[in-house]
Structure formats: C-alpha cells, structure tokens
Amino acid sequence: MSTTVSAAPVLAARGLVKTHGTTRALRGASVELGAGEILAVTGASGSGKSTLLHCLAGIVRPDEGEVTYGGERVDRLPEPRLSELRRTEFGVVFQFGQLIPELTALDNVALPLLLAGQGRARARRAADEWLERFGVRGQGELRPGELSGGQAQQVAMARALVTGPAVVFADEPTGALDSLAGERTMTALVHTARETGSAVVLITHDARVAAYADREIALHDGAVMAGNVAVTR
C-alpha cells in the first residue's frame, strides 16, 4: 500500500485535537484524502478512529486544528452549510446502518434526495436503481427490522451514495456482519466507489477490511502513527 497522497487532497485535516470529558480522543491527528482514493483508518478500539471520522465529516467540531474540503473550513462552517454538505457531497455509513425504522428500504435510500428537493417519483426511481446496484432491489418494500444485517448495511450504503457524494465516510461498515456478508458489503462499496469516483474514508479494526483500501493509516491513542511512532504536535 502507498503511504502518500500524490495529487492535491480533496479533504485534509491538520492537527486535530478533540477531548470527550477527561479523555483526549484525538491528539494532533493529521490526514489527507485524495480524489477517488479509498483510505483505511485502522487502530484498536478507543484509538480515536470514529472521532476522527466525525470531525472529517463535520458531525463534531474539533477543539483544535482544521478540516478543509473544497476550499472551505469544515470545522468553521455553520450548521446549515454542514447539513447541506452531508446531504449532497458527503455520504455517511454507520456501523449499524442507522436506517429509519418506520421507512421502507426504498424510502430510506430516497430520503437524501427528497431532503435536497427532488420530486418523490424521481427520488424513488433513483433509489430503486441504487438498491439494484447493491443487490437488494427485491427488499425495497421491507422495513429495516425485516432485513438481515447484511441487507440493512447494503441499503445504508445505497443511501450514502445515492446523491453521488464526493466523499463517503464508512465507520466500521462490516463490524456487525459475519465474514461472508462483510466481504459482499465491502466488494459492493469498493466497486461502486470506483464506478462513481467517490473517495472513501474507511474506519476499521479489521485487517481484511483495510486490505480493500488504496492506502492505510493507523491511529494510536488519538495520534497518527508513522512506522511504530505516534506523530503528535
């Protein structure tokens, strides 16, 4: 695996510090993501992986440091602009999918398009096409509680990609799946990201999942490792 980004990064973070209570989750972490690149962020449980993803995606704001995307300081954007980014240019896949239980799989996938102002019929057609891409078109009228874990995660990925985002953030997307379902999920994610040109930040503790990425960085106690040494400010 390469350890550098050759082109100008589409997303970059510098010196991120984030504290939860008395715990410093990030200690000066820096990372870059190239356009169309799949980057795996690895590390043990509690190493700061999810906190890093949340800062990069604008879900939480770092206490120190900066996150830039397309010339904008993500960490300084007002909430309406952050919400717009997450609806249009960022797609997020959580470990347990976090689908809306009252909606069908089809309507879960259509929701980001509806929130962006697209008409219902057009949004549902697009959602149906994305369910087909991920091999779960036949489950479109089922609700999340009627889906298997693998199917629910495929639906969650379709929802994250339906808007054609520039960056997809996937937080332990196979953590709740068995090995076969995890392999199918990762294969579908990578294939679709390559097809659409989306960059992917892939959070995982599993070396088999990290192997799908173009490049890997490791976190230890909130700091990015270089070799076996934590890089801090």
pLDDT in tens, 8-39: 899 999 999 999 998 999 999 999 999 999 99
Beta strands in 7-76 (DSSP E): 9-20, 23-34, 38-42, 64-69, 72-73
Question: What is the structure's pLDDT at 124?
Answer: 96
For 40-96, the pLDDT digits (tens) are 999 998 899 999 999 999 999 999 999 999 989 999 999 999 988 988 899 999 876
Q: How many CB atoms within 10 Å of residue 138?
A: 11
Sign of CA dihedral 160, 5, 16, 66: negative
- In this prediction, residues 107-126 reach a mean pLDDT of 94
Residues 6+ apart with CB under 8 A from 22: none
Could you tell me if 169 and 193 are in contact, meaning their C-beta atoms sit under 8 angstroms apart? no
* Predicted TM-score (pTM) above 0.95: no
Question: What is the structure's pLDDT at 7?
Answer: 63
- In this prediction, residues 117-136 reach a mean pLDDT of 93
pLDDT at residue 188 greater than cutoff 80: yes
